[in-house]
Amino acid sequence: MRPPNYYTAPGFERAGLRRRDSDWIRAAITDAAAQFVPVWRSQNLVVEVTGGEPRAIVLTGDHAALLLEGDPAAHLEHGGVVFLGVIEERPHFALDLSHVETPLETLASPALAASGIPADGSRFADLRQLAGGLARPEGALLALARAMLHWHQRHRFCGVCGSPTSSEEAGHMRLCTNADCKTMHFPRTDPAVIMLVSDGERALLGRNKNFPPGMYSTLAGFVEPGESLEDAVAREVREETAIEVKSVAYHSSQPWPFPGNIMLGFHAEAATSEITVDYGELEDARWYERDWLLQHADDNSFRLPRLDSIARRLVEDWLHRRAGPGAV
Ligand SMILES: [Zn+2]
C-alpha cells in the first residue's frame, strides 16, 4: 500500500460521536493526557531539531491554561478551543492563541521551559513554508487545527441574519444566537480540481506569476455551483490553455488547509494540442516531454511543485506510470 497524500493521517480518530457529549468533552479537556495544538494567527508552532527538520510542538493543559490565563474549557464556547480527535487514547484540541501578543515569550518562560518546551528554535510558522518537512501525522494534525480555527475566525457572525454565532459540538458547528434564526453553520471545505493533462508522452504544465522562479505545475481551479468534477476539469483546462480534454480519470485527493480546500486530483487526456494561454490566469503553459522531465533536476530554470503537494504526486505518478494511492 502506497502512502496517502500528505496532510492526511489514516490512524487519526476524529471521535465525531463524542462532540455532542459535553460531559465527555469537558472531562477530556481536563484529562492530564490531553494535548493542545497551538495556532497563532494561522501559524503553527514548530521547533527545528538537529538537521533542520521541523517538529510540531503540542502543549499540555497546564501550558494552555498559562497561555490563556484561565481554564481552556472556558474557550470552547467561542471556538478558541476545538476538539480535534483522539490519538493513542489522548484527546487533542486546537488552541487559538491569536489574541496573545507574544505567545513565544510566554512559552519561553522558565515555567514552560522547565517542562520541556524548547525555548531555542521554537517558532510559529506558516505550514505552507514547512513544505512537508514534518512527519506525516504531525503535518495532518497541524493542518486540521489550522483549518478549524480559520473557519471559526471567519464565521463569528451568522450569514443569514448577522447576529453573533456560538461554537457548539466542541467546535464542529456554529449556531446563530438569534432565537428567531438559530441557523446552524458547519465547517466548510471548498472543492478544487487539479489535473495533469497528458498528450501521449507529453504533459501540460503551467505557471502563474506568483510561483517561485522556474516552477511549473499542473492546472487547477475551483469547482463552480452546478458543475460536476469532470466538467470543472474540462472547463479549467479549456479556460487556461484552450486545450480540450477527452477523458478525465480520478486519481486521489488531498486536504489543503490554505485556507479551507480539498484538492481533487485527476489525470486527463488531451483531445487537442495547440495551447493558447489565458494570461489573466497564467504566465505560461507548455507541453513537457516525459523523458525530459525524468532527467531534469529541480533548479531555478525549471522545477516541479513542492513535495507535499498533490500536484507533485500527479506529475510523479504520470512520469512513472503509476495509479493513484487509493487504487488497487
Ligand atoms: Zn442568524
Taking only the tens place, the pLDDT of each residue in 125-162 is 999 888 778 999 999 999 999 999 999 999 999 999 99
Centre of ligand 1 to C-alpha 180, Å, is 8
Reply yes or no on whether the pLDDT at 37 is more than 50: yes
Query: What average pLDDT does the chain have?
Result: 92
User: If pLDDT is split at 50, 70 and 90, which confidence band does 328 have?
Assistant: very low
Query: How far apart are alpha carbons 188 and 235 in whole angstroms?
Result: 24
* HSE, side-chain direction, 13 A CA sphere, residue 143: 28
Centre of ligand 1 to C-alpha 165, Å, is 8
* Mean pLDDT value across residues 67-95: 95
Centre of ligand 1 to C-alpha 166, Å, is 11
DSSP class per residue in 160-209: TT--BEEEEGGGTEEEE--TTT--EE----EEEEEEEEEETTEEEEEE-T
Among candidate residues 84, 71, 118, the one with its CA nearest the CA of residue 15:
84
In the prediction, which pLDDT does 298 show? 81
Cell of 118: 524548547
**Rg value, the chain, Cα:** 22
Are 171 and 152 within 8 A, CB to CB?
yes
For the chain, helix, strand, coil in percent to 5 are 25, 30, 45
Centre of ligand 1 to C-alpha 181, Å, is 5
Centre of ligand 1 to C-alpha 188, Å, is 17
* Mean pLDDT value across residues 307-325: 90
* 316 phi, psi to nearest 5 deg: -60, -40
Are 177 and 160 within 8 A, CB to CB?
no
Centre of ligand 1 to C-alpha 151, Å, is 17
The reported pTM is 0.91
Centre of ligand 1 to C-alpha 219, Å, is 38
In the prediction, which pLDDT does 308 show? 86
Centre of ligand 1 to C-alpha 186, Å, is 13
Centre of ligand 1 to C-alpha 116, Å, is 44
In the prediction, which pLDDT does 82 show? 98
